[in-house]
Amino acid sequence: MKTPILILIAAFAMLSCRPQLVAAVSAPVITKIALASPVHQYLADSSGSIKLTVTVTYTGALSRFGVRLAAPTIPSGSSTKWSFKGATGPTFQPLVGDKTSWEFSYATAPASPITFDVELNYAAGLADPADGATTVQSFAAYALLNNAVATDAQGSPVQTTLTFSEAVFHTADANKDMRLRLDELLKVVQIYNVRNSSTRTGAYTFATSFEPSASGTPVTPTSNVHSADLDKDGTIRFSRFLSGKDSGRAGRLGG
């Protein structure tokens, strides 16, 4: 007859020989990074700030994770005009005032999708507001895994871009709030009060200085024809101007 001790030893040996079930831990895969912003314009002739929302989606157990945000590099010198203002969410983030590029990371990665906001300041002079051309500013964002740019299931870098355009304002919009106040509108009306004897000669026309012209002199139309210039002769007659003014009552009056 076996003793109780021998029975216990035999039972333990049988249990130790059975395969142990271990929970499988899937390798982390970052599937997407996205950038968004409530506005997509910046002021060319003054300083300001923008807000970016970063969203990262992933699968598996994520630990050493981060995001690198790179400032625009075109036109030349643009990157030094952007600086870090602040962020909500990441445990580790740049110092206020840091320029060129910024990295963010978490001590413990939140559940997917991870979303956080970044605010950046920009200095005046990103573009020349008087050159008649618009200049874009493009940001690039990269997902980081184990201190390197992450790759997706196809082996491609997980990255994205977001572009901001130079804000273009109507020449009558003196305070550049994208609306025409009554006093701004009355200044345009004064242009039409210009007369040569009994003939109204004032007209709203294209001008090389990008300011309203009161000369009434016909000009060569450009491709940038105002929507109120129905005959596309480069001038807006008073009757057409009144039509545009009436349209502006329902919302913003664009150029």
Please indicate, yes or no, whether residues 155 and 233 belong to a single structural domain of this protein: no
Q: What is the pLDDT of residue 228?
A: 58
Judge if 45 and 156 occupy the same domain: yes
Q: Which residues in the chain show pLDDT less than 50?
A: 21-24, 208-214, 216-223, 246-255
Q: How far is CA 119 from CA 50, 54, 123, 163, 169, in A?
A: 6, 11, 14, 15, 24
Whole-number Å distance between alpha carbons of 154 and 134: 36
126 shares its domain with 195: no
**Which contacts qualify for 225-234: CB closer than 8 Å, 24 or more apart?**
226/255, 227/254, 234/205, 234/206
61 and 114 fall within a common domain: yes
Each residue's pLDDT tens digit, 102-130: 999 988 888 999 999 999 999 887 776 55
**Burial (CB count within 10 angstroms: exposed 0-12, middle 13-18, buried 19+), residue 231:** exposed
Which helix (H) or strand (E) element contains residue 245? helix 238-248
Asked whether residue 111 is assigned to any structural domain, the reply reads: yes
Range of the domain at 99: 29-166
- Point out the domain boundary residue: 166, 196, 211: 166
Query: What is the bridge-based pairing of β-strands 159-166 and 148-149?
Result: unpaired
User: Quick check: is 121 in a domain?
Assistant: yes
pTM above 0.75, yes or no: no
CA 12 to each of CA 8, 113, 152: distance values in angstroms, whole numbers, following the listed order: 6, 46, 46
Q: For residue 121, what pLDDT is reported? A: 94
- The alpha carbons of the chain give a radius of gyration, in whole angstroms, of 31
